[in-house]
Structure formats: C-alpha cells, structure tokens
Amino acid sequence: MRVMLCGMPKQRLVVIGNGMAGARVVEEVLARGGNERFKIAIFSDEASGSYDRMQLADVLNGSQDESAIVRRSFAWYQENQIQLNGGQRALLVSRPTRTVYGPAGVAEPYDKLVFATGSSPYFPPLKNLFDANGDRLSGVTGFRTLADCRTIADLATDSRRVAVIGGGLLALEAARGLSGHGCEVHLIHSGSQLMNQQLDEYAGQIVQRLVERAGIHVHLNRAVRSLLGQRRVNGLVLSDDTSMPCELVVVSTGLIPNTWLAYQCGLTVERGIAVDAELRSLDDRDIHALGECAQLRDRVHGSKDAILEQARVIAAQLMDAHSTARYHAQSAVSMKVMGLNLATVGNIRAAAARDQIAEYREPGRNRYKKIVLRERRVIGAILLGDVGAFPALSSAFESNARLSDAQLAELIAPSTTKANDWARVA
Ligand SMILES: Cc1cc2nc3c(=O)[nH]c(=O)nc-3n(C[C@H](O)[C@H](O)[C@H](O)COP(=O)(O)OP(=O)(O)OC[C@H]3O[C@@H](n4cnc5c(N)ncnc54)[C@H](O)[C@@H]3O)c2cc1C
C-alpha cells in the first residue's frame, strides 16, 4: 500500500496500542524524520490519549490532576499528522490483505505494523469472584488505567474498608493511591515479604515500614481464598479462615500480556508475542512488537527502561532496512516505590557459597545498597533510596569485568560520602 504525498511515496505504519511503548515508538520514528517516510495511524482502546501510567497512584490520591499526567495532547497527534483512532480497539489483523480492522468499519492498511498492546491485570481464580450472571462482582477491580483509577476513587468514597490483594509494586501503588481516601486500607500478600521479586528481606522491611507509616495495614503470608457478597463484594475470606469485611477489592496479583490479536493473525505467541533481537515477529518481518506484550527468548521485558531502548531499536529498523540496531535484553529495572528510588540488576540474592555481598545500610534515611559478587564480578545489585551508582553498576554488570577494591568501594559508597569509609564486604 503506497500513498503519494508531495510526489514521494509514503508507506503506512500502523501501531496498535498507545501506551508507553506505542507512543514512544512513534516519537522515535518522528525524531528520525519518519513523517517523510510514513503515514502513521494508531489504534488506542483507551479514549484518554497518551498518559503516564506510572503516576496513576498520584492521581488516585489526589496529589496530581489527571491533566498533569497526560504526555501527548490530541493536538500533538494532529500537528504530526498522525491518525489517532482514539477509544477504538483493533479487532482484527488480516495479514493477507495487510489491514487492521477496528469497530464501525474502521480499516487501516499497513506496510509495517507494530504491536504495543501491553498487558491486563490477572485475576486469580478466587471463589465467588463472579456473580450468578457470570459478571465479576461489583467493587472488585484491577489498577491499570485511568478508567480504573476513576472507578476506584468513586467506590472508595463510600467504602469503610478496602482490601488490596498483592505485594508487588502495582499493589503498593494502589494502596498508596487509596491511603488518602479516608477508608482503612489493607494490603494482603501471600508472600513473606513485600516486592519479593525485586527486594531482599532487608529492603522489603524498609519498604514495609514506609507502607505502614502511610497508614496501610500489611498482612503477609496470607492468601485470599474467596470473596463474599452477591452482586457487590462485601468481604473476603483468608487462608487462615478469618474473614474481613470490605466494600472494595483491588486485585494486583500479576499481569497477562495482551496477545490475542497477534495469535489470531497467526503469529507465534508463547507468554508474549515471540520476537527476535530486531524485535520482529518470528513469523513476519513487517511486524514488530515491544513492551509488555512482547517476548524475547523466554522473557517479557516490559519495564520502562527496556521499553525506551526497544522503541529506539524498532524506529531504527523501520527507518533503515540495513540498520544494525538490536535489543540487548537487560535485566536492569528502575522504579519509584513509596517515594524511594529503586534500581535493581541481575541476581539480587547470593546463589552460591562463593558469592560475596557488599552492603551499605543507612536506616535513618532508608538508604540501602547491596552488590552481589562472584569472583569479584557483579552478578546482581539492589539500590534503594540512593541510585546514583546505578549507571556504573549496570555497566559493571554488563561488562562482567572483575572489580578492584577501589572500584567496589566507589560503587558501594553512598552518593555523597567518600568511598572507602563505607565499603563492607562480607
Ligand atoms: C501504577 C503503575 C506504576 C508503575 N510504575 C513503574 C515504574 O516505576 N517503573 C517501571 O519500569 N514500570 C512501571 N510500571 C509499569 C509500566 O507502566 C509498564 O511497564 C508500561 O506501561 C508498559 O507499557 P506498554 O506500552 O507495553 O503497555 P501499556 O502501557 O499497557 O499500553 C498498552 C496500550 O494498548 C492498549 N491496547 C491493548 N489492546 C489493544 C487493541 N486491540 N487495540 C487498541 N489498543 C489496545 C491498552 O489499552 C493500552 O492503552 C507501572 C505501572 C503502573 C500501572
């Protein structure tokens, strides 16, 4: 499909999803002069335009206006001649005719297609999750979108007690967002510590203290067995057989990549849409995927840092058929948790007897650094409350170089203190 504009044939680029990944790919393409090469169309099933999902808790707790988290206005799309099919879900991809179909007869032909469909909250098979009509009980929701945020804020107004199920970052963010609403907030997690994938026990305790200081009740080692209520939830039953009355339940127990559309059009889908290092589908060189819907080798790389890098790789590939850009899967992740910066890389727990741990702890300021070493090479790290050394640590991890005492002391030192005073290798 070619469109003639100003005498130059333009190709059609269609992006499905306008979250962090989809919007970022388009920005990277534009930054490389992509408007000259492509006529761009986006399908976005969220009507609210492009916003920063990572700040939803601030909207929920009222410290930010919805408008403050909008990243690209509707005018931006117009100025860049992008066809934004807002509030329109892509329903079907036809690879033989190279067309994406939306509702009400919308059809966007493509030469290049990008899947950026993200993921949806996972609802575990709780007893009584659904009412007699097969609908989820009212008052039970995920926390992923602005629409979820509005629903939760509405329901919280007439709730005395709210339960958040989960112990990961998104559960903590939901609890933080709810903590200003005048209702009791209970965080219920089946694990023995918060954020057990990203934090070790000590860092988990720092975060738990901050959560409790925000007035949130934390229940660890307790799973939710079933929900109570007919049409609207009015409580839940825990694994120790105790029950807890509550009028709102926010479920944050994991994510499922949105891959149905890719599967439907015959692409290989495992956990996510299977891609190679050029982030192309294994089945179709004209289709890319990135963000939380894509899977490289056996992993989904959906963090913010990963997505920014992936968007650069795809834009380079789209703009230059001979591009050598490749995505080098990294395990580094950075985020903000309960107001603290957190960055992790690699294996955060010693795995072998010969592994060494270098640590710096400053409890009064909630600062904690831990570097896991094997034969003086960094195999993992946690930086909580002080992430200044993150770039240097990530590159030490990537290069797999042996560290001298001085280099290690530099890495473990708090950002504002002289290096050697602080290093402690156990
Ligand atoms: C509260 C919160 C805090 C977070 N904090 C951090 C953090 O500190 N650090 C970090 O790295 N990550 C964080 N994340 C995760 C981060 O937001 C995600 O990794 C990122 O948004 C993933 O981007 P994505 O574009 O792949 O998916 P999404 O942002 O989910 O975007 C996908 C979009 O595609 C749309 N879509 C899906 N199917 C279709 C279809 N068929 N047609 C049209 N549109 C479709 C979806 O509705 C959605 O709008 C946080 C997330 C939340 C919710």
How is 12-74 classified by DSSP, letter by letter? EEEEE--SHHHHHHHHHHHHTTHHHHEEEEEEES-TT-EE-GGGHHHHHTTSS-GGGGEEE-H
First to last CA, the chain: 63
pLDDT at 426 over 90: no
Specify the ligand 1 atom closest to the Cα of 57.
Answer: 1
Local confidence band at 8 (pLDDT 50, 70, 90 cut-offs): low
Specify the ligand 1 atom closest to the Cα of 23.
Answer: 25
Q: What are phi and psi of 304, to 5 degrees?
A: -55, -50
Residue 110 CB partners (closer than 8 Å, separation 6+): 1, 12, 13, 14, 41, 98, 99, 100, 286
- In the block, which residue shows the tokens 């990243």? 71
pLDDT at 129 over 80: yes
- Between strands 333-337 and 294-296, the pairing is unpaired
172 lines ligand 1 (CB under 6 A): no
Question: Mean of the per-residue pLDDT values for the chain?
Answer: 93
- In the block, which residue shows the tokens 């112990």? 167
Nearest to 315 by CA among 117, 17, 98, 114: 114
Mean pLDDT of 89-105: 97
Mean pLDDT of 50-75: 93
27 lines ligand 1 (CB under 6 A): no
DSSP code for 389: T
Structure tokens at 301: 């790389």
User: Dihedral sign, CA of 204, 296, 35, 43?
Assistant: negative
Specify the ligand 1 atom closest to the Cα of 177.
Answer: 1
Local confidence band at 7 (pLDDT 50, 70, 90 cut-offs): low
Distance CA 55, CA 74 (A): 20
Local confidence band at 351 (pLDDT 50, 70, 90 cut-offs): confident
Ligand 1 atom 53: residue of nearest CA: 144
User: Dihedral sign, CA of 245, 250, 254, 257?
Assistant: positive
Distance CA 133, CA 348 (A): 45
Per residue in 360-372, pLDDT tens?
Answer: 999 899 999 999 9
Per residue in 107-125, pLDDT tens?
Answer: 999 999 999 999 999 999 9
Per residue in 330-341, pLDDT tens?
Answer: 778 899 999 999
Structure tokens at 271: 């956990």
Per residue in 138-154, pLDDT tens?
Answer: 999 999 999 999 999 99
303 lines ligand 1 (CB under 6 A): yes
Ligand 1 atom 6: residue of nearest CA: 54
Mean pLDDT of 339-360: 90
